[in-house]
Amino acid sequence: MSYPEQAAEVLALCARIAAHTDVPGTITRLFLSPATHRVHALLRAELESLGLDVRIDAIGNLRALYPGPTPDAPVLLLGSHIDTVPDAGPYDGILGVALPLVLLKSLAGTPLPYAIELIAFSEEEGVRFKFPFLGSRALINDLTPTDLARTDAAGISVSEALESLGAPSRSVPSNEVGSQTPDLSNALLLPNTFAFLELHIEQGPLLDSLDLPLGIVTSIVGQSRFDLTFTGQANHAGTTPMHLRRDPLAAAAVWMHRTEAYALAAAPLVATVGIIATHPGAANVIPATCTLSLDIRHPDPEALAQATAHVLSLATDIASTRGLRFEAHPTTHHPATPMHPGLRALLAEAAGQAAHHLPSGAGHDAMILARAIPAAMLFVRSPGGISHHPAETVHPADIAAALETCTRFLTTLNPADIAK
C-alpha cells in the first residue's frame, strides 16, 4: 500500500476513534470513561486482526506486542494517549496511536531485529483527576499511594476507578471506604524496552510558518511558575498627584512590557502573565498591591535559569526606582527534558529535508519515559497552530510524510546503536 493510501487509513481510524465521546456533539474522552472503553474495544479488534496480542494493563493502558525475532528480543515502544481535553480535536494523542497501528499493518512480515510494543496511554491530559500522565507514570513506577488516592469530581479515587477495568462495561463503583491500592506491576515497562518514539501533532504554529510537514523534537521545555507581588501605597485616585504615587499596577505594567521585549529577543524563551489582580481593586483607588502569575519556559536549563533571574531582577529594579516592594514565590518547576541524541539523529536521517528541529513547549508522555529509557518525538504540522480545539486538523500529505519517515526509521533502527 502506498503512503497516501496508508495516510487515508490513519485519518479514517482517527475519525472512527473521534466518534466515541462522553459528551455528544463534542470530542471528550476522560480516563476510563465509557467512551474510552469503547475505543479500547475498537483498537483491540484492529490489533487482534493483525494477529497481535492485546491487553489492558492495571492503569488502563491498551498494549499490543508485535513480536521480535526471539521472545527475549529488545522492545521498541511506540504510542501516545487516547484521553482528551473537553471539546478536543480528533488528533491530539490519537494520531500517535492510529499511525503506528497502520505502520504495524504495513510492516507485517518485515523482519526487524526487535519487537514493537504499541501503547495507547490511558491518561495524559489529567482532566479527570487534575493529575496528568497517569498512564506513562505507571510504566516507570512513578505513582505513589497519594497519587492513587486522588479523587475526581464525583469523589471516586484513582484506585477505585481502576477496579472498573475488570469489567469495562460496568459503571465505576461508588465511593468505598478503605479500598486497596491496586497492584500496578503489570503496567511497568517491559524489561527489554530500549527506546520510546512518540508521534504527536505539533500543537503550535512553527512548522506551519516554515511550511514544513514534520518536526524533530530537540527537548521538551523546562517550565517554572511564580506568584509575583508588587506592593505600593493605596491612595485616593483624585487627590494624589502622579509624581507622588507608589502605584504597583503601573510598575507591573512596565515590567510586563520589558519582559515581553526581552523574551521576544531571546527565542525560544516564552514568558507569560496569565493572571493579574489588584487590591483593593476599585476604580477610584490607586492599588496597594498587584499580584500576578509568571509562567516561563525554555528548552535549555541554563538559559531558563538565566532568563528567570533576569526578569525577576528587572522587577526588583522597577520596584525600587518607584519606591515599591517586590516579592517572587516559586510555585512549580519542571526541568527541561532533552530527547535522545541517537534517536534524533536517526529520525533526522529518515526525514531528510522534510523536518525542522524544534523544542516542544507542551508536556508529553515522552517527557516521563525519558527518565527511564531513550525517548524521541516526531511532530506533524498543526495547520494554523490550532490544538485542544475542535478545529484541530492535519494535512493528509503530512501524514504520508510521517509514515514514510517512521517506516525508514523502523527499518534502519538497530537497538545495539541506541546507548542509554
Window 47-66: residues binding Zn ion (CB under 5 A): none
The closest alpha carbon to 171, from 156, 186, 182, belongs to 156
Q: Which is nearer to Zn ion, 80 or 291 (CB)?
A: 80
Please work out the total of residues on this chain that contact Zn ion, with binding judged by CB under 5 A: 2
**Does 222 help bind Zn ion (rule: CB under 5 A)?**
no
The label of the residue with cell 528541529 reads: 357
Build a one-symbol-per-residue string for 76-105: x at contacts with Zn ion by CB under 5 A, - elsewhere. ----------------xx------------
SS3 content of the chain, % helix, strand, coil (to 5): 35, 25, 40
Q: Which is nearer to Zn ion, 38 or 81 (CB)?
A: 81
In 147-240, DSSP assigns E strands to: 193-201, 214-220, 222-231, 235-236
Q: Which is nearer to Zn ion, 216 or 251 (CB)?
A: 216
Report, in Å, the least distance between residue 282 CB and Zn ion.
42
**Alpha-helix residue ranges (DSSP H) falling in 131-229:** 134-139, 145-148, 158-163, 206-210
Report, in Å, the least distance between residue 81 CB and Zn ion.
6
* Contact partners, residue 101, CB within 8 Å, separation at least 6: 13, 43, 46, 47, 118
Report, in Å, the least distance between residue 392 CB and Zn ion.
10
Q: Which is nearer to Zn ion, 67 or 126 (CB)?
A: 126
* Contact partners, residue 82, CB within 8 Å, separation at least 6: 17, 29, 36, 39, 43, 62, 93, 94, 97, 120, 121, 122
Q: Which is nearer to Zn ion, 112 or 376 (CB)?
A: 376
Burial class (CB in 10 A: 0-12, 13-18, 19+), 93: buried
Burial class (CB in 10 A: 0-12, 13-18, 19+), 365: buried
Report, in Å, the least distance between residue 124 CB and Zn ion.
6
The closest alpha carbon to 379, from 136, 132, 213, belongs to 213
Rg (CA), the chain: 24
Q: Which is nearer to Zn ion, 92 or 202 (CB)?
A: 92
Report, in Å, the least distance between residue 121 CB and Zn ion.
9
Q: Which is nearer to Zn ion, 93 or 222 (CB)?
A: 93
Report, in Å, the least distance between residue 93 CB and Zn ion.
4
Q: In this chain, which residue has its C-beta nearest to Zn ion?
A: 93
* Torsion sign across C-alpha atoms 207, 213, 216, 220: positive
Window 235-294: residues binding Zn ion (CB under 5 A): none
Report, in Å, the least distance between residue 128 CB and Zn ion.
15
Interface with Zn ion (CB under 5 A): 92-93
